[in-house]
Amino acid sequence: MARPKNPPAPKKLLKEILPIEKIFDEEEVALYKDLVDVYMADFDKDDLTSSDTDDILDLAKNRVLEFRLLRSTTGTDNTDRLIDVSAAVEKIKKENKTLKENLSTRRKDRINPNEFKGFSIVDLAVAFDENRKQQLAKQILRNRKEEAQAVEDRGDYAGNRYDSDSKQLGHEDDEG
């Protein structure tokens, strides 16, 4: 059987095509789908390999199973049951750690080290300064417009004619 020319998108595969409803109850399916969304957010969908998809599937599935195991111990005093669940949860956590490391390693391998070559903290500082300078220039322009509008709204108002500086404005004859 030949491989399909257009395989399904990884997210669609993980959330719609796989029969997760057959292994999880309704609440767990919702949790699984939310976990898939969280894990998928760390990746560009075009960069995902089949190994990445498998690891994300296993991570989400393991987390749901971990919660199922933990929930099964509530209200029980059965020591043997608690020990069994604790051991199973510990195995799941170790497997999840390995899965996360695998995902992280493959993601690092796909990063082009030359993409940001020559890019430094100085470039960030200059970009920040330019952005800040533009914001301040806009604020100064807004302030000048407000000032011009206030002067225009004031009209011919020259202040109180009895002020000490009123002589400068041509009100010398008003003094008595």
Q: What is the pLDDT of residues 39-69, one digit of tens each?
A: 888 877 777 788 888 888 899 999 999 999 8
H helices of 9-162, in order, are: 10-12, 26-40, 50-72, 79-110, 121-154
User: pLDDT class for 176, splitting at 50, 70, 90?
Assistant: very low
* Residues 58/99, Cβ–Cβ less than 8 Å: yes
pLDDT tens, position by position, 105-147? 877 766 666 666 666 777 778 888 888 889 999 999 999 999 8
Q: How far apart are CA 68 and CA 65, in angstroms?
A: 5
- CA triplet 95, 97, 98: central angle to 5 degrees? 65
Whether residue 60 contacts residue 36, with contact meaning beta carbons closer than 8 Å, is answered with yes
